[in-house]
Amino acid sequence: MLFLFQISTAQSSKTNSNKVSVEEVQKDLNYLSSDELAGRETGSEGIEKAAKYIEEHFKEAGISPYFDTYRDDFQVNDRKGYNVVGLLEGTDENLKDEYILLGAHYDHIGNGKAVDGDNIANGANDNAAGTVGVLQLAKHLAISNDNKRSIIIALFSGEEMGLKGSEHLAERLKEEGIDLYAMINLEMIGVPMKAKDYKAYITGFDRSNLAEKFNEYSGGDKVLGFLPQAGQMNLFKRSDNYPFYKEFNVPAQTISTFDFSNYPYYHHVDDEAEFLDAEHMADLIEDLIPGIQKIANTADREIKMNL
């Protein structure tokens, strides 16, 4: 997550097709936050390996490239960055030209302050966790293959350099004139929240009815809630949802479980997979699937801005 400073769904709504494998979550998390990827800094060899890994997941799931290839390239100073962008085309002739975008950033900062000789900032929670979440959502949405609206799956680079990848893609899609209905971003979902009556919080809670409708779509369970600190620290503007809000003025918000008390390793070399909870992640991803499926399939555009 970019900061300006350093620092149940009802069981009846879960079907077998929505069952997320804890083992798959752990495997992907382990690789994306491994020393081999050296902290996934934009423009590095490590993030190139991550991009190829994501592309392979897309191919295996049957997700088409959104552009001519999966790569959406951009320049940040002397570095070339790549968003990895796929498409699940809608099945309804009238609704497939309306788009939902699911996103997360897959880059991180590369190196951090050394601890016991380790200077690789692996970025397991920030944001290999969100990347794994999007990959799993994409896989299960592709399996169900019943989304009436089209769904863009985007993994962003350049977030840690100032939301550069998401800014580039938002501007490019705006120039294309796509009809964006809503954007949902996943950020730092690797550990459960403490003493909350909801599974995850959403940034910009009062800007739209997304949380209210999402919980309704999820069988009445409180999947998404309000975290006061998110407003106090203006997190709405500090992750990859924000460029899409700026360009399209539609509901574009981030889902997270990092609440400033439940994980001490933000931008720290100990942000490693061993400290995350893959069971929690799999459960949360399962809880997100029904809401996203409903957003993709309602006849009317029920998700609306409040402001």
Q: Is the pLDDT of residue 21 over 60?
A: yes
Give the pLDDT confidence score for residue 14 in this predicted structure.
47
Q: Is the pLDDT of residue 4 over 60?
A: no
Mean pLDDT of 148-166: 98
pLDDT in tens, 111-135: 999 999 999 999 999 999 999 999 9
Give the pLDDT confidence score for residue 149 in this predicted structure.
98
The DSSP code for 124 is I
User: pTM for the whole thing?
Assistant: 0.94
| Ordered domains of the chain (ranges, CATH) | 15-297 (3.40.630.10)
Give the pLDDT confidence score for residue 2 in this predicted structure.
57
Q: Is the pLDDT of residue 137 over 60?
A: yes
pLDDT in tens, 239-276: 999 999 999 999 999 999 999 899 999 999 999 999 99
